[in-house]
């Protein structure tokens, strides 16, 4: 179907829904690189005007890509909930989301009737404040070893990476994060090596750290899903099963993963949890995504970055994850050119993911060759915390020494919690209080940065024998 819009006497024509969605999006380097973004601001506004009048039902009935991801999304779509918004236009749905009472409808199940493409379309009509205001009331609560996502909860993933996977270095970094009240979302290590032995060793060391400290949180080693499952087969303790996913089957093929492998892996970890005990719920998956991943893999099918990213959330939703992480600035300037584009993409990802019912977190980050700096991360961190983001990263000194990129630090997360009166997960906060790291919701002087901290950390690591 062809779409048209006339702006001050100039008529713009868009050949199909895929082109309309691409032209209506906020400026992104990757969309320009792919030739799907607007070629002028006038064209962008014209596309947004046209998109606002498209019916939700028309988007649902017009698959952009014929693949397993589309089939999965449509198969899991709640048709009764979808019918309640099918007659709305995209513009009318935007108004409804920003109006009173929407959060109650959403919590009652409406999120299950929203497709990724519809979520992306609405986001393209929203400004920064809209993206924050629309997402803030949408709370997605998940449970593994603790409870994430409740009102007022702002979690942190401790990311204690080490360039040679040295267990002592990893554990010192993780313990450092715990002393800043971080780690309630997950203690998650990106391994430098992807062998089963390395992954199993890290899984066991992290489990030992939790056993020694009693911290009620979950661990994860972010290797390929098949490597983690091989480690599980050798007896390694797996709390969360990680995998990067994309919005098309071809993207997931480039990661070496299929929907069936994800389903089999989830079943294996759920069964493993039942044998171990100590878990509050059966949400065991941890997914990472990012705008531009499909384009970088040559697997975008001419679909814009945001819509591809939303389709990745459609994949995630089918596996009821504990955490979903948009690694928003990691991909580099070819896809998100500068701080402005990174901030916009981070807020879009968070809003669309929450709209679909996902426990969205964000790695507020940038690579060293992009036009961004620590002010960029400060700005997006505060905006996401205001928007109700489930969690962010905690990286020592905000500089990841293994992946060589800039993220948010333990200090940053602790500062935003204090600024906006946010708290860790309730079970984790109770533990922090019990060991003296927090008191009345605030870090105590003696734990976070006191002179005895390193001695305490070293003692904890020596107990584990690393």
* 294-322 pLDDT tens trace: 999 999 999 999 999 999 999 999 999 99
> What is residue 9's predicted lDDT score, i.e. its pLDDT?
93
Q: Is 228 helix (H, G, I), strand (E, B) or coil?
A: helix
CA dist 210 and 184 (Å) reads 11
Q: What residue ranges in 224-338 does DSSP mark as E strands?
A: 241-244, 285-289, 323-326
Predicted structure pTM score: 0.96
Residues 177-195 have pLDDT tens digits of: 999 999 999 999 999 998 9
> What is residue 277's predicted lDDT score, i.e. its pLDDT?
87
Residues 76-108 have pLDDT tens digits of: 999 999 999 999 999 999 999 999 999 999 999
User: Which of the four pLDDT bands, split at 50, 70 and 90, describes residue 465?
Assistant: low
- Residue 41 in this model has a pLDDT that exceeds 80: yes
- Residue 459 in this model has a pLDDT that exceeds 80: no
> What is residue 454's predicted lDDT score, i.e. its pLDDT?
54
User: Which of the four pLDDT bands, split at 50, 70 and 90, describes residue 242?
Assistant: very high
- Averaged pLDDT for residues 255-272: 97
> What is residue 30's predicted lDDT score, i.e. its pLDDT?
98
Average pLDDT, the chain: 95
The fraction of the chain above a pLDDT of 90, given in percent, is 92
Hey, what are 175's tokens? Answer: 């313990």
Q: Is 142 helix (H, G, I), strand (E, B) or coil?
A: strand
- Averaged pLDDT for residues 50-66: 97
- Averaged pLDDT for residues 33-39: 98
Helices (H), 102-195: 102-107, 116-124, 128-135, 167-179
Per the CB < 8 A criterion, the answer to whether 420 and 386 are in contact is yes
> What is residue 435's predicted lDDT score, i.e. its pLDDT?
87
- Averaged pLDDT for residues 259-285: 96
Q: What is the dihedral of CA 224, 229, 235, 239, to 10 degrees?
A: 80
Least confident range from 38-47, 227-236, 396-405: namely: 396-405
- Residue 460 in this model has a pLDDT that exceeds 90: no
User: Which of the four pLDDT bands, split at 50, 70 and 90, describes residue 457?
Assistant: low
User: Which of the four pLDDT bands, split at 50, 70 and 90, describes residue 445?
Assistant: confident
- Residue 453 in this model has a pLDDT that exceeds 60: no
Q: Among positive and negative, which fits the CA dihedral 385, 387, 392, 397?
A: negative
Per the CB < 8 A criterion, the answer to whether 77 and 59 are in contact is no
User: Which of the four pLDDT bands, split at 50, 70 and 90, describes residue 405?
Assistant: very high
CA dist 152 and 166 (Å) reads 36
CA-derived radius of gyration, the chain: 22
Q: Is 395 helix (H, G, I), strand (E, B) or coil?
A: coil
**What pairs with residue 258 in β-bridges?**
none
Please report, in angstroms and rounded to a whole number, the separation of the first and last CA atoms in the chain: 62
- Residue 466 in this model has a pLDDT that exceeds 70: no
Would strands 360-362 and 391-394 be described as parallel, antiparallel, or unpaired? Answer: parallel
Other Cβ atoms closer than 10 A to 145: 23
Q: Is 283 helix (H, G, I), strand (E, B) or coil?
A: coil
- Averaged pLDDT for residues 53-59: 98
User: Which of the four pLDDT bands, split at 50, 70 and 90, describes residue 350?
Assistant: very high
- Residue 450 in this model has a pLDDT that exceeds 60: no
CA dist 143 and 199 (Å) reads 24
> What is residue 444's predicted lDDT score, i.e. its pLDDT?
87
- Residue 451 in this model has a pLDDT that exceeds 60: no
- Residue 452 in this model has a pLDDT that exceeds 80: no
Residues 361-375 have pLDDT tens digits of: 999 999 999 999 999
The fraction of the chain above a pLDDT of 70, given in percent, is 96
- Residue 462 in this model has a pLDDT that exceeds 80: no
């Amino acid at each position: 179907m062809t779409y048209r819009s006339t702006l001050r006497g100039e008529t713009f024509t868009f050949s199909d829904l895929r082109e309309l969605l691409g032209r209506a999006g906020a400026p992104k380097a990757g969309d320009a690189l792919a030739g799907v973004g607007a070629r002028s601001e006038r064209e962008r506004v014209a596309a947004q005007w046209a998109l606002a009048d498209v019916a939700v039902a028309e988007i649902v009935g017009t698959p952009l890509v014929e693949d397993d991801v589309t089939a999965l999304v449509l198969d899991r779509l709640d048709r009764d909930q979808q019918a309640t918004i099918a007659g709305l236009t995209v513009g009318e749905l935007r108004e409804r989301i920003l109006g009173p009472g929407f959060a109650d409808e959403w919590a009652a199940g409406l999120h299950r009737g929203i497709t990724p493409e519809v979520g992306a379309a609405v986001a393209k009509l929203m400004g920064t404040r809209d993206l924050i205001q629309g997402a803030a009331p949408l709370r997605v609560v998940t449970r593994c070893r603790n409870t994430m996502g409740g009102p007022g909860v702002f979690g942190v993933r401790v990311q204690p990476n080490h360039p040679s996977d040295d267990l002592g270095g990893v554990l010192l970094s993780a313990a450092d994060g715990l002393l800043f009240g971080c780690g309630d979302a997950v203690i998650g290590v990106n391994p430098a090596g992807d062998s089963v032995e390395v992954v199993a060793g890290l899984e066991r060391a992290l489990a030992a750290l939790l056993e020694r400290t009693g911290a009620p949180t979950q661990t994860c080693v972010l290797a390929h899903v098949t490597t983690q499952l091989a480690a599980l087969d050798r007896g390694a303790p797996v709390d969360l099963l990680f995998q990067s996913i994309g919005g098309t089957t071809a993207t997931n093929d480039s990661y070496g993963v299929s929907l069936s492998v994800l389903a089999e892996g989830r079943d294996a970890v759920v069964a493993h949890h039942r044998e171990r005990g100590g878990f509050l719920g059966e949400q065991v998956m941890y997914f990472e995504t990012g705008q531009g991943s499909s384009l970088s893999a040559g697997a975008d099918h001419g679909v814009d970055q945001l819509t591809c990213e939303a389709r990745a959330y459609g994949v995630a939703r089918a596996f009821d994850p504990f955490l979903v992480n948009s690694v928003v600035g990691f991909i580099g300037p070819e896809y998100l050119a500068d701080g402005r584009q990174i901030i916009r993409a981070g807020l879009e990802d968070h809003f669309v993911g929450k709209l679909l019912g996902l426990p969205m977190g964000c790695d507020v980050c940038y690579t060293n060759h992009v036009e961004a700096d620590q002010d960029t991360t400060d700005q997006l961190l505060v905006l996401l915390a205001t928007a109700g983001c489930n969690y962010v990263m905690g990286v020592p000194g905000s500089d990841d020494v293994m992946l060589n990129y800039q993220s948010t630090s333990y200090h940053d997360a602790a500062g935003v919690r204090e600024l906006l009166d946010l708290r860790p997960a309730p079970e984790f906060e109770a533990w922090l209080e019990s060991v003296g790291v927090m008191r009345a919701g605030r870090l105590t002087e003696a734990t976070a940065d006191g002179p005895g901290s390193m001695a305490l950390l070293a003692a904890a690591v020596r107990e584990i024998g690393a």
